[in-house]
Every structure is written in C-alpha cells, then in structure tokens.
C-alpha cells in the first residue's frame, strides 16, 4: 500500500509550477518507476504533482546547434527518436537499455536525472555531451550543467519549487560514439558498470576523447585525466594500456577500494581497450 497523499494532475507547465511552489511536502511524479517504489517503502510526502500529461515538456527537437529534449520524454521516446539516434547515439543506446519495455514506456529521462542514481543509464552519455538542464520555477528559469546538478548520489541541486523541464545537448560531429553497459542479466537489470564514449581520430592519432563511466563512483564521472592524456597521442597498444591504468587509478582515488572492483575494474579496462582501439 502507498502512504496517503493528495495528488494534482497538472495540465500545463504553469499549473505544475504553481502547484510545486504553493503545496507543502510536494513531490513531482512523471513515470513513477522510482518514486512509486520509494513511496511504497515508506517515503512520505503530502502532495504529488503528476506531470505525465504535460505534452509541453515531452518533445525532442533541434534548436540551432542544440538538441532540446523534454524532461517528460520517456526512455522509449528518446531511444526511438530519429534526432537522438542521429545526433546523440550514445544516449539512444543507453535509453534503449533501461529496465524493461514496461519501464521504458513509463520512466522519463528527466526522472532518471532527478533521481540521480549512480547507475542511471542516461547520465554517462549526457556527461560526454556536456548537457545542461533547464530548471523552472514560478520565480524564473535557470540553466545548470549536468556535472554540477548532481551533488551526491540520489541528491541534486533542484529546489522544492522547481521542475526540470528541458535538457540541452550539444551533438558531437565527426566523433564515433557509443554506450556499453555490464549487467547481471541482459534486461531488467541495473547497470553494474557503464561507459559512454565519443572519440575523434585523424591519421592514427586521437584528436579528442570524451569518456564517462557510470556505476563505479558515487556519481557517473568524466575521466578527464585520461581524456587529456590521450589527446594528440598515437592510437597504439602502449597508450591504450596506460589509459586503462589511469582510469582505474582515478576511480580508486575517488571511491576507495570496493569489493566489486576485483571484477569491475578489469572489465572496465577491457571495455576501454576495445573502445580506444576502435
């Protein structure tokens, strides 16, 4: 059974923003795939604002050089979108692997970000694209970089009176990019390890490299030391091996030693090797 609460079904963004600014102990619900589970475990709130009917924040569009994804787009919307598939293929792959068909039909990309699980599939691809988030309240709109948005695992900078409405993504032209995750079973599983990458090469040399790793550190992170190390270097075994060593060291420095690392870190090295070799 769910705890008692009052719900408001917002029909417009303005209605949703007004509700979150005036109601007490309020939570926003979209797909419900995280919040419903938490409430069933006893997480309390007195009010729920249901934004699943807001078509205003569900679209996926291009706006000049930018891709704008509505926070209410479901994982299915994102993974099936031609715009995302062509411009942000790592995100397309990541959202296509979240949970199960049922979960992808329900869960939204905005919910994935606000829930801020260390294993959230959409995070690593959005990090390599330097995504930023549009947060709206009755008082105004602010834009925050995804990297700054997540403060701690399951904690973000979003205020109680704010709603995440859009995600801005910059396509990476001329890069080969992808997303790979390791799970205990093929579907309906939480990522134990995930890697998103975008690599630009020319003449046997790395011109630019962007790598984000999920589920190894408290928050998915950009392996910036490795990225910088690789730029300008030749695509060769020694360099790739050194990059693998660096990324493992960086993760150990952030997280300390974890029992799962005996398995995870050699696998990560293997994935990185595959990815960098191309």
* Rounded-to-integer distance, Cα 275 and Cα 183, Å: 18
CA distances from 181 to 93, 108, 194, 227 (A): 10, 19, 4, 20
Nearest to 28 by CA among 47, 49, 7: 49
Least distance in angstroms from the C-beta of 17 to another protein: 20
Q: For the CA atoms of 149, 165, 128, 223, what is the dihedral angle to 10 degrees?
A: 20
* DSSP track, 3-69: PP-EEEE-SSHHHHHHHHHHSSSEEEESS-TTHHHHHHTT---SEEEE-TT-GGGT-EEEETTEEEE
Q: Closer CB to another protein, residue 110 or residue 244? A: 110
Among 14, 37, 231, 254, binds another protein (CB under 8 A): 37
Among 3, 218, 232, 266, binds another protein (CB under 8 A): 3
Among 12, 22, 141, 187, binds another protein (CB under 8 A): 187
Q: Which span sits near another protein by CB under 8 A: 50-58, 135-143, 166-174, 217-225?
A: 50-58
Pairing of strands 150-152, 47-50: unpaired
Is residue 106 involved in binding another protein (CB under 8 A)?
yes
Is residue 137 involved in binding another protein (CB under 8 A)?
no
Least distance in angstroms from the C-beta of 167 to another protein: 23
Nearest to 82 by CA among 99, 71, 67, 72: 67
Among 32, 59, 225, 269, binds another protein (CB under 8 A): 32
Among 10, 23, 27, 33, binds another protein (CB under 8 A): 33
Q: Closer CB to another protein, residue 30 or residue 84? A: 30
The residue ranges that bind another protein (CB under 8 A) are: 2-7, 9, 29, 31-33, 36-37, 40, 48, 50, 52-53, 76, 99-103, 105-106, 186-188
């Amino acid at each position: 059974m769910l705890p008692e609460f009052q719900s408001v079904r917002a029909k417009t963004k303005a209605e949703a923003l007004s509700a979150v600014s005036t109601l007490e102990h309020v939570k926003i619900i979209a797909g419900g795939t995280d919040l419903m589970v938490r409430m069933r475990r006893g997480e309390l709130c007195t009010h729920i604002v249901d934004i699943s009917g807001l078509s205003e924040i569900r679209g996926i569009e291009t706006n000049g050089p930018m891709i704008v994804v509505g926070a209410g787009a479901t994982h299915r919307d994102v993974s099936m979108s031609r715009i995302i598939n062509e411009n942000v293929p790592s995100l397309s792959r990541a959202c296509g692997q979240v949970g199960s068909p049922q979960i992808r039909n329900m869960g939204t990309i905005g919910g994935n970000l606000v829930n801020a699980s260390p294993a959230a599939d959409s995070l690593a691809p959005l990090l390599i694209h330097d995504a930023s988030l549009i947060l709206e309240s009755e008082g105004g709109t602010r834009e925050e970089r995804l990297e700054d948005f997540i403060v701690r695992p399951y904690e973000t900078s979003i205020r109680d009176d704010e709603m995440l409405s859009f995600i801005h993504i910059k396509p990476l032209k001329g890069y080969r990019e992808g997303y790979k995750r390791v799970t205990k079973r093929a579907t309906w599983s939480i990522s134990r390890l995930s890697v998103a990458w975008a690599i630009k090469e020319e003449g046997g040399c790395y011109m630019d490299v962007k790598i984000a790793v999920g589920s190894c550190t408290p928050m998915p992170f950009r392996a910036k030391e490795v990225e910088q190390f690789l730029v300008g270097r030749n695509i060769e075994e020694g360099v790739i091996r050194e990059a693998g060593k660096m990324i493992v060291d960086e993760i150990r420095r952030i997280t300390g030693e974890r029992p799962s690392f005996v398995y995870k870190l050699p696998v990560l090295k293997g994935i990185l090797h595959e990815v960098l070799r191309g």
